[in-house]
Amino acid sequence: MVRDIADTVELNNGVRMPRLGLGVYKVKDGGEVIQAVHAALEAGYRSIDTAAFYENEKGVGEAIRTSGLRREDVFVTTKVWNDRQGYESTLAAFEESRKKLGFDYVDLYLIHWPIKGKFKETWRALEKLYREGYVRAIGVSNFKIHHLEELFEDSEVTPAVNQIELHPRLTQEDVRAYCKEKGIQVEAWSPLMRGRLMDEPTLVDLAKKYGKTPAQIIIRWDLQHGLITIPKSVRKERIIENADVFDFELSDEDMKKIDALNQNLRTGRDPDEIS
Protein backbone atom coordinates (compact mmCIF):
# COMPACT_ATOMS: atom_id res chain seq x y z
CA MET A 1 0.00 0.00 0.00
CA VAL A 2 1.49 3.35 -1.05
CA ARG A 3 0.51 5.73 1.72
CA ASP A 4 2.98 8.58 1.76
CA ILE A 5 4.60 11.02 -0.64
CA ALA A 6 7.93 10.05 0.92
CA ASP A 7 7.47 6.39 -0.12
CA THR A 8 10.35 4.98 -2.11
CA VAL A 9 11.09 1.87 -4.13
CA GLU A 10 14.31 -0.04 -3.71
CA LEU A 11 16.17 -0.21 -7.02
CA ASN A 12 18.15 -3.32 -7.98
CA ASN A 13 21.35 -1.89 -6.45
CA GLY A 14 19.74 -1.06 -3.10
CA VAL A 15 19.34 2.68 -3.78
CA ARG A 16 15.91 4.00 -2.81
CA MET A 17 14.02 6.21 -5.27
CA PRO A 18 10.81 8.16 -4.53
CA ARG A 19 7.73 6.74 -6.25
CA LEU A 20 6.48 10.20 -7.16
CA GLY A 21 8.57 12.91 -8.79
CA LEU A 22 8.15 16.16 -10.70
CA GLY A 23 8.83 16.12 -14.44
CA VAL A 24 10.22 19.32 -15.92
CA TYR A 25 10.13 18.75 -19.68
CA LYS A 26 9.30 22.02 -21.52
CA VAL A 27 9.72 24.03 -18.32
CA LYS A 28 11.84 27.11 -18.96
CA ASP A 29 15.20 27.43 -17.25
CA GLY A 30 15.44 30.19 -14.67
CA GLY A 31 12.34 31.53 -12.90
CA GLU A 32 9.81 29.05 -14.25
CA VAL A 33 11.68 25.89 -13.35
CA ILE A 34 12.85 27.33 -10.03
CA GLN A 35 9.31 28.14 -8.91
CA ALA A 36 8.00 24.74 -10.07
CA VAL A 37 10.73 22.83 -8.22
CA HIS A 38 10.27 24.97 -5.11
CA ALA A 39 6.50 24.36 -5.21
CA ALA A 40 7.10 20.62 -5.55
CA LEU A 41 9.61 20.41 -2.73
CA GLU A 42 7.29 22.44 -0.50
CA ALA A 43 4.48 20.01 -1.35
CA GLY A 44 6.70 17.11 -0.26
CA TYR A 45 8.08 15.86 -3.59
CA ARG A 46 11.63 14.55 -3.22
CA SER A 47 12.44 13.63 -6.82
CA ILE A 48 12.98 15.79 -9.91
CA ASP A 49 13.27 14.45 -13.46
CA THR A 50 15.27 16.60 -15.87
CA ALA A 51 17.48 15.95 -18.91
CA ALA A 52 20.24 17.73 -20.82
CA PHE A 53 17.71 18.08 -23.64
CA TYR A 54 15.31 20.08 -21.43
CA GLU A 55 17.95 22.81 -21.02
CA ASN A 56 16.90 23.54 -17.46
CA GLU A 57 19.44 21.61 -15.38
CA LYS A 58 20.92 24.88 -14.13
CA GLY A 59 17.60 26.05 -12.71
CA VAL A 60 16.85 22.63 -11.23
CA GLY A 61 20.17 22.69 -9.37
CA GLU A 62 19.64 26.25 -8.19
CA ALA A 63 16.12 25.48 -6.98
CA ILE A 64 17.33 22.51 -4.94
CA ARG A 65 20.22 24.49 -3.46
CA THR A 66 17.93 27.35 -2.41
CA SER A 67 15.13 25.10 -1.11
CA GLY A 68 16.52 24.68 2.37
CA LEU A 69 16.73 20.92 1.90
CA ARG A 70 19.97 18.99 1.93
CA ARG A 71 21.30 17.68 -1.38
CA GLU A 72 20.88 14.10 -0.18
CA ASP A 73 17.19 14.69 0.54
CA VAL A 74 16.34 15.16 -3.14
CA PHE A 75 16.65 12.49 -5.82
CA VAL A 76 17.80 14.00 -9.12
CA THR A 77 17.56 12.29 -12.49
CA THR A 78 19.11 13.57 -15.69
CA LYS A 79 19.74 12.01 -19.11
CA VAL A 80 22.27 11.96 -21.91
CA TRP A 81 20.83 13.32 -25.15
CA ASN A 82 20.96 11.46 -28.46
CA ASP A 83 23.61 13.55 -30.18
CA ARG A 84 26.08 12.96 -27.33
CA GLN A 85 25.89 9.17 -27.33
CA GLY A 86 29.08 7.12 -27.56
CA TYR A 87 31.70 6.48 -24.87
CA GLU A 88 33.84 9.63 -24.67
CA SER A 89 31.06 12.00 -25.68
CA THR A 90 28.76 10.64 -22.97
CA LEU A 91 31.45 11.13 -20.33
CA ALA A 92 31.84 14.74 -21.50
CA ALA A 93 28.05 15.26 -21.64
CA PHE A 94 27.68 13.93 -18.11
CA GLU A 95 30.30 16.35 -16.83
CA GLU A 96 28.43 19.24 -18.49
CA SER A 97 25.15 18.15 -16.89
CA ARG A 98 26.78 17.71 -13.49
CA LYS A 99 28.31 21.19 -13.67
CA LYS A 100 25.04 22.79 -14.77
CA LEU A 101 23.26 21.12 -11.89
CA GLY A 102 26.12 22.18 -9.64
CA PHE A 103 26.24 18.85 -7.80
CA ASP A 104 29.01 16.42 -6.91
CA TYR A 105 26.86 13.51 -8.02
CA VAL A 106 23.62 12.68 -9.81
CA ASP A 107 21.20 10.15 -8.32
CA LEU A 108 20.09 8.55 -11.59
CA TYR A 109 21.59 8.96 -15.04
CA LEU A 110 19.64 7.62 -18.02
CA ILE A 111 20.24 7.01 -21.70
CA HIS A 112 17.43 9.17 -23.09
CA TRP A 113 16.71 7.10 -26.22
CA PRO A 114 18.14 3.83 -27.62
CA ILE A 115 20.25 5.19 -30.47
CA LYS A 116 21.03 2.28 -32.76
CA GLY A 117 24.70 1.33 -32.97
CA LYS A 118 25.56 3.72 -30.13
CA PHE A 119 23.69 2.85 -26.97
CA LYS A 120 26.00 0.02 -25.92
CA GLU A 121 29.01 2.34 -25.94
CA THR A 122 26.94 4.93 -24.09
CA TRP A 123 26.11 2.29 -21.51
CA ARG A 124 29.82 1.52 -20.98
CA ALA A 125 30.29 5.19 -20.09
CA LEU A 126 27.38 5.05 -17.64
CA GLU A 127 28.90 1.93 -16.05
CA LYS A 128 32.17 3.82 -15.56
CA LEU A 129 30.37 6.81 -14.00
CA TYR A 130 28.51 4.42 -11.71
CA ARG A 131 31.65 2.54 -10.66
CA GLU A 132 33.43 5.83 -9.95
CA GLY A 133 30.57 7.08 -7.76
CA TYR A 134 29.44 10.04 -9.87
CA VAL A 135 25.98 8.49 -10.17
CA ARG A 136 24.13 6.44 -7.58
CA ALA A 137 22.20 4.46 -10.19
CA ILE A 138 22.13 4.13 -13.96
CA GLY A 139 19.30 3.28 -16.26
CA VAL A 140 17.70 3.66 -19.66
CA SER A 141 14.71 5.36 -21.19
CA ASN A 142 12.50 4.39 -24.11
CA PHE A 143 14.02 0.92 -24.32
CA LYS A 144 11.84 -1.79 -25.80
CA ILE A 145 12.44 -5.43 -24.89
CA HIS A 146 14.72 -5.98 -27.89
CA HIS A 147 16.85 -2.97 -26.92
CA LEU A 148 17.27 -4.36 -23.40
CA GLU A 149 18.17 -7.78 -24.79
CA GLU A 150 20.81 -6.20 -26.99
CA LEU A 151 22.16 -4.20 -24.04
CA PHE A 152 22.43 -7.36 -21.92
CA GLU A 153 24.74 -8.98 -24.52
CA ASP A 154 27.71 -6.93 -23.26
CA SER A 155 26.68 -5.06 -20.15
CA GLU A 156 28.08 -5.58 -16.67
CA VAL A 157 25.45 -3.59 -14.78
CA THR A 158 21.72 -4.20 -15.20
CA PRO A 159 19.81 -0.93 -15.66
CA ALA A 160 18.10 0.08 -12.43
CA VAL A 161 15.28 1.89 -14.25
CA ASN A 162 13.57 1.98 -17.66
CA GLN A 163 11.67 5.26 -18.09
CA ILE A 164 9.03 4.80 -20.79
CA GLU A 165 5.92 6.51 -22.08
CA LEU A 166 3.13 4.98 -20.02
CA HIS A 167 -0.45 6.08 -19.32
CA PRO A 168 -3.94 4.55 -19.57
CA ARG A 169 -3.79 4.69 -23.41
CA LEU A 170 -0.37 3.00 -23.49
CA THR A 171 -0.10 0.51 -20.66
CA GLN A 172 3.05 -1.26 -21.92
CA GLU A 173 2.22 -4.54 -20.19
CA ASP A 174 4.82 -6.53 -22.14
CA VAL A 175 7.70 -4.19 -21.25
CA ARG A 176 6.51 -4.05 -17.64
CA ALA A 177 6.46 -7.83 -17.33
CA TYR A 178 9.90 -8.16 -18.92
CA CYS A 179 11.40 -5.46 -16.68
CA LYS A 180 9.90 -7.06 -13.60
CA GLU A 181 11.52 -10.37 -14.48
CA LYS A 182 14.90 -8.65 -14.93
CA GLY A 183 14.67 -6.50 -11.79
CA ILE A 184 14.35 -3.22 -13.69
CA GLN A 185 12.06 -0.59 -12.17
CA VAL A 186 9.65 0.94 -14.69
CA GLU A 187 9.06 4.68 -14.54
CA ALA A 188 6.14 6.30 -16.40
CA TRP A 189 6.74 9.39 -18.53
CA SER A 190 3.81 11.50 -19.74
CA PRO A 191 1.73 9.71 -17.11
CA LEU A 192 -1.11 12.19 -17.77
CA MET A 193 -0.77 11.71 -21.52
CA ARG A 194 0.26 15.37 -21.59
CA GLY A 195 -3.05 16.45 -20.07
CA ARG A 196 -5.21 14.82 -22.76
CA LEU A 197 -7.10 12.35 -20.54
CA MET A 198 -8.90 14.78 -18.27
CA ASP A 199 -12.25 14.30 -20.10
CA GLU A 200 -11.97 10.56 -20.60
CA PRO A 201 -15.39 9.23 -19.38
CA THR A 202 -14.14 6.24 -17.33
CA LEU A 203 -11.59 8.43 -15.57
CA VAL A 204 -14.16 11.18 -15.01
CA ASP A 205 -16.56 8.60 -13.48
CA LEU A 206 -13.85 7.20 -11.22
CA ALA A 207 -12.85 10.72 -10.21
CA LYS A 208 -16.44 11.36 -9.09
CA LYS A 209 -16.62 8.02 -7.28
CA TYR A 210 -13.44 8.62 -5.24
CA GLY A 211 -13.86 12.39 -4.84
CA LYS A 212 -10.63 12.99 -6.77
CA THR A 213 -9.63 14.43 -10.16
CA PRO A 214 -8.87 12.36 -13.30
CA ALA A 215 -5.18 13.29 -12.90
CA GLN A 216 -5.17 11.95 -9.35
CA ILE A 217 -6.90 8.73 -10.47
CA ILE A 218 -4.18 8.13 -13.07
CA ILE A 219 -1.33 8.87 -10.67
CA ARG A 220 -2.85 6.54 -8.08
CA TRP A 221 -3.20 3.83 -10.76
CA ASP A 222 0.54 4.22 -11.51
CA LEU A 223 1.47 3.89 -7.85
CA GLN A 224 -0.75 0.85 -7.28
CA HIS A 225 0.90 -0.81 -10.28
CA GLY A 226 4.28 -0.30 -8.61
CA LEU A 227 5.37 2.27 -11.18
CA ILE A 228 7.42 5.37 -10.52
CA THR A 229 5.56 8.36 -11.92
CA ILE A 230 6.69 11.90 -12.76
CA PRO A 231 3.74 14.14 -13.72
CA LYS A 232 4.78 17.58 -14.95
CA SER A 233 3.15 20.85 -14.04
CA VAL A 234 4.34 24.41 -13.65
CA ARG A 235 1.24 25.40 -11.66
CA LYS A 236 1.48 25.25 -7.91
CA GLU A 237 -2.12 24.11 -7.43
CA ARG A 238 -1.68 21.22 -9.86
CA ILE A 239 1.68 20.26 -8.37
CA ILE A 240 -0.11 19.97 -5.02
CA GLU A 241 -3.11 18.18 -6.60
CA ASN A 242 -0.89 15.60 -8.32
CA ALA A 243 0.68 14.69 -4.98
CA ASP A 244 -2.60 14.45 -3.10
CA VAL A 245 -3.01 10.78 -3.95
CA PHE A 246 -2.03 9.03 -0.75
CA ASP A 247 -5.38 9.01 1.06
CA PHE A 248 -7.35 6.62 -1.12
CA GLU A 249 -7.08 3.22 -2.76
CA LEU A 250 -8.51 2.15 -6.14
CA SER A 251 -10.29 -1.21 -6.01
CA ASP A 252 -8.97 -4.09 -8.13
CA GLU A 253 -12.04 -3.77 -10.32
CA ASP A 254 -11.38 -0.06 -10.93
CA MET A 255 -7.69 -0.72 -11.60
CA LYS A 256 -8.83 -3.16 -14.33
CA LYS A 257 -11.22 -0.57 -15.79
CA ILE A 258 -8.27 1.78 -16.24
CA ASP A 259 -6.07 -1.02 -17.65
CA ALA A 260 -8.80 -1.60 -20.24
CA LEU A 261 -8.40 1.94 -21.64
CA ASN A 262 -5.20 0.84 -23.38
CA GLN A 263 -5.04 1.50 -27.13
CA ASN A 264 -1.25 1.21 -27.53
CA LEU A 265 -1.37 4.89 -28.39
CA ARG A 266 1.85 6.90 -28.19
CA THR A 267 2.06 10.68 -27.90
CA GLY A 268 5.83 10.60 -28.26
CA ARG A 269 8.04 8.94 -30.82
CA ASP A 270 8.31 5.22 -31.30
CA PRO A 271 11.75 4.20 -29.96
CA ASP A 272 12.37 2.16 -33.13
CA GLU A 273 12.01 5.28 -35.25
CA ILE A 274 14.63 7.33 -33.44
CA SER A 275 18.02 7.79 -35.02
Burial (Cβ within 10 Å: 0-12, 13-18, ≥19) of residue 154 = exposed
* Interface residue with ligand NAP, options 55, 150, 244, 268 (CB under 6 A): 268
Give how far the C-alpha of residue 58 lies from the chain's centroid of Cα atoms, to the nearest Å.
19
Give yes or no for residue 47 binding ligand NAP (CB under 6 A): no
Q: Rounded to whole angstroms, how far apart are CA atoms 94 and 35?
A: 25
Give yes or no for residue 190 binding ligand NAP (CB under 6 A): yes
Q: How far is the CB of 245 from ligand NAP (least distance, A)?
A: 10
Q: How far is the CB of 196 from ligand NAP (least distance, A)?
A: 8
The DSSP-derived string for 160-217 is SEEEEE-BTTB--HHHHHHHHHHTPEEEEESTTGGGTTTT-HHHHHHHHHHTS-HHHH
Give yes or no for residue 245 binding ligand NAP (CB under 6 A): no
Give yes or no for residue 200 binding ligand NAP (CB under 6 A): no
Q: CA quadruple 129, 132, 134, 138: dihedral positive or negative?
A: positive
Q: Which stretch binds ligand NAP (CB under 6 A): 2-10, 128-136, 230-238, 250-258?
A: 230-238
Residue type, 49: D
Q: How far is the CB of 170 from ligand NAP (least distance, A)?
A: 11
- Residues in contact with ligand NAP, counted by CB under 6 A, come to a total of 28
Nearer to ligand NAP, 22 or 125 (CB): 22
Torsion angle defined by CA atoms of residues 167, 109, 59 and 233, in that order, rounded to the nearest 10 degrees = 10
* Interface residue with ligand NAP, options 195, 226, 248, 260 (CB under 6 A): 195
54 is catalytic: yes
Q: Rounded to whole angstroms, how far apart are CA atoms 132 and 114?
A: 23
Catalytic residue of the set 45, 54, 130, 178: 54
Q: How far is the CB of 100 from ligand NAP (least distance, A)?
A: 16
Q: Which positions from 2 to 21 touch ligand NAP by CB under 6 A, shown as an x/- string?
A: --------------------
* Interface residue with ligand NAP, options 11, 17, 20, 24 (CB under 6 A): 24
Q: Which stretch binds ligand NAP (CB under 6 A): 2-10, 85-93, 101-109, 227-235?
A: 227-235
Pinpoint the alpha helices (H) of the chain. Answer: 31-43, 57-65, 87-101, 119-131, 145-154, 173-182, 201-210, 214-224, 236-243, 252-259
Mapped onto helix, strand or coil, the DSSP state of residue 60 is helix
Q: Rounded to whole angstroms, how far apart are CA atoms 212 and 56?
A: 31
- Interface residues with ligand NAP (CB under 6 A)? 23-25, 49, 112, 141-142, 163, 189-195, 198, 213, 215, 230-235, 238, 241-242, 268
Just list the catalytic residues.
54
